[in-house]
Structure 1
Amino acid sequence: MSAEVRVDTHAHIWGPAMPFWSRAWKRPDYAYTVETYLDTLDASGVDFAVIAAASLFGTYNDYVIRALRQHRRLRGTVIVDPEIGMYDLECMRRDGVVGVRLQLFHTDLPDFAADGYNRLFHRLRDMDMHVHVNVEAHRLPSVLDGLRPSGVKVVIDHFGWPDAEKGLDCPGFQAAVRACQDGMAWVKLSGGFRRPDQDIARMFAQAYVERVGTERLFWGSDAPFVGAEGTVTHRQTLDQLGYWLPDAAVRAAIHRSAHDFYFA
């Protein structure tokens, strides 16, 4: 692995005419293909990437899985029914799937102690896969508490969506820090462009580095910026990371951590 490796741990791809989930929050009228995304990575000097399952398409993971099979510089997460069996998960793992995404934003939280979820989390743990969580900061503590008994690894999206007004006292931020310190979780510094004040993103990024270290942090672009198309570029998200964390050695360590977690 090059010392200068770069890893984008959060992007979405989809082809034309894919079936939207009935409750999709957006229905883009364009495709963002794997070929387009790989060209973007090359232009930005990014070596590897992780495709995050998009809630727009629910459990329709077909396009992502085919892309992972074809391009070994990619890994991905999927959205699945909790009753999915071991064999299907093993097949996905061989194809490059490394985790299951729980898209919990603006939805009722499931009962993680129920048989289906309990089995799913234990299977993911046994296969060295992870749970990829997207949830509001005020509900993140209870989600982490629900996942903890299984021992499954957890990756938290978008800084954990901490509340800017509460700052570092935000319970979600503090719960994410504790989970990282306990060895349970990792946090993506992703989606920062969705914050109008980059100084707030910078504050949280630096606070995470101080409290959990670079080995528990990843960076993600959130391309193609659904809901914010035309307002930000992939290159600009890399520049934002540089603003949050001006020390190049710190940024390099975060990229190495991502490579070790997803590709080692």
Structure 2
Amino acid sequence: MPFEKSPGWLDWYANPSKPRFALPAGSVDAHCHVFGPGERFPYAPERKYTPCDASCEQLFALRDHLGFARNVIVQATCHGADNRALVDALERSEGRARGVATLRGKPTDAQLQRLHAAGVRGVRFNYVRRLVDFTPADELMDIATRIAPLGWHVVIYFEAPDLPELWDFFTSLPTVVVVDHMGRPDVTKPVDGPEFGLFLRFMQENTNVWSKVTCPERLSHSGPPARQGESAAYRDVVPFARRVVEAFPERVLWGTDWPHPNLVDHMPDDGLLVDFIPHIAPTAELQRKLLVDNPMRLYWPEAVGRLA
């Protein structure tokens, strides 16, 4: 029986523009997803939304169209802890993709080794209440302890008001910790205000913490460009992302977030999202760190020496 999309679900942008910004050679789209296809990889019974199908073949076609060399595919909450769609995408990528999985309970060493062989290099802990039910902290800590010897990291997804409550747990994790979307700041508040200041202090005081400066389309109140190629797209997000890039140039990542789950007002043109990059990373050096050096160091460390 086919899956029916959640009411109001927006499908991904079918004809993205070609970016004006030329990506550095070897650039990595370090945050994207695959959904299903549901007939092959059924969505989780406990899911809180049913998306459109978005296959790895479509993702890789977008990769090539935009000019990326590699992808980091993050397990989508609609698949729960069933990582089969993710693993299939990694195995079809011919070594050009790495993955971030979702784990629950007590995975065996053999299960972890199979995921590692497929290309998984991280585990995502989701704290956004509208998307998932929280997993107990002791279970997550056990998972983090188990993956640390593999050289994996933990990806955390939370919203800015929840950081004070979660701070102690996050700072106790024994791995590199990568924050999704800058902790979802409220960009109507001052970039120098206390809420975003707490996030910057979180990164400053914990040198194992990285951040994805991603998803301006989720964070913005000024919205998408009024016309194709307009440089002021998502302009209210620029000061926040640029502050993180310039303060922590060795610990930032960028990705498209394709196929953009759970957007309700508009679906972004991925080509214009790429054109957002030079506004937050204004120099060639910052662009190379953001798009090449940092993701390669985290996801393909074995290749870094060969590429130097």
TM surpasses 0.5: yes
CA contact (8 A) 1:103 1:135 kept: yes
Cα separation, partners in 2 of 1:134 and 1:176, compared to 1, 3 Å: farther
The answer for the alignment partner of 1:215 in structure 2 is 250
Q: Deviations over 1:106-132 (max 9, x none)?
A: 1564442x2x33321111222111111
The residue that corresponds to 1:250 in the other structure is 286
Partner Cα separation in structure 2 for residue 26 and residue 254 of structure 1: 31
8 Å CA contact 2:253–2:290 kept in 1: the answer is yes
1:68 matched to 2:105 = no
Q: State percent identity of aligned pairs.
A: 24
Q: CA RMSD in A?
A: 2.3
Query: Matched residues in 2 for 1:139 and 1:123: separation?
Result: 26
1:149 aligns with 2:185: no
2:81 is aligned to 59
Higher share of residues assigned helix: 1
C-alpha contact (below 8 Å) 1:163/1:170 kept by paired residues: no
- Show the counterpart of 1:164: 187
8 Å Cα contact 2:66/2:271 also seen in 1:
yes
In structure 1, the residue corresponding to 2:98 is in which secondary structure?
Answer: strand
Whichever of the two has the greater Rg, that structure is 2
Number of matched pairs: 259
What is the one-letter code of the residue matched to 2:221? P
How far 1:138 sits from its partner (Å)?
Answer: 1.4
* 3-state SS of 2:235 partner: helix
TM-score by length of 2: 0.77
What's 1:259 paired with? 296
TM (norm. structure 1) is: 0.89
Unpaired stretches in structure 1, ≥5 consecutive residues: none
SS state at 2:276 partner: helix
The answer to whether the 8 A contact 1:162-1:173 is kept is no
Q: Once the 2 structures are TM-superposed, how far is the Cα of residue 3 of structure 1 from its aligned partner?
A: 6.3
In 2: Cα distance, 1:160 partner to 1:218 partner:
13
The residue type equivalent to 2:259 in the other structure is P
Match of 2:66 in 1: 44
Q: Secondary structure at the match of 1:49?
A: strand
* SS state at 2:178 partner: strand
Matched AA of 1:51: I
Tell me, in whole angstroms, the C-alpha distance in 2 between the residues paired with 1:25 and 1:179: 31
Q: For residues 26-175 of structure 1, what are the structure 2 equivalents within 5 Å?
A: 26-28=49-51, 30-71=52-93, 72-106=95-129, 109-112=134-137, 114=138, 116-168=139-191, 169-171=193-195, 174-175=198-199
Using a 3 Å threshold, how does the CA distance of structure 1 residues 173 and 89 change in structure 2: closer, same or farther? farther
Q: Work out whether residues 151 and 184 of structure 1, in 8 Å CA contact, stay in contact via their aligned partners in 2.
A: no
Range that drifts further, 88-97 or 179-188: 179-188
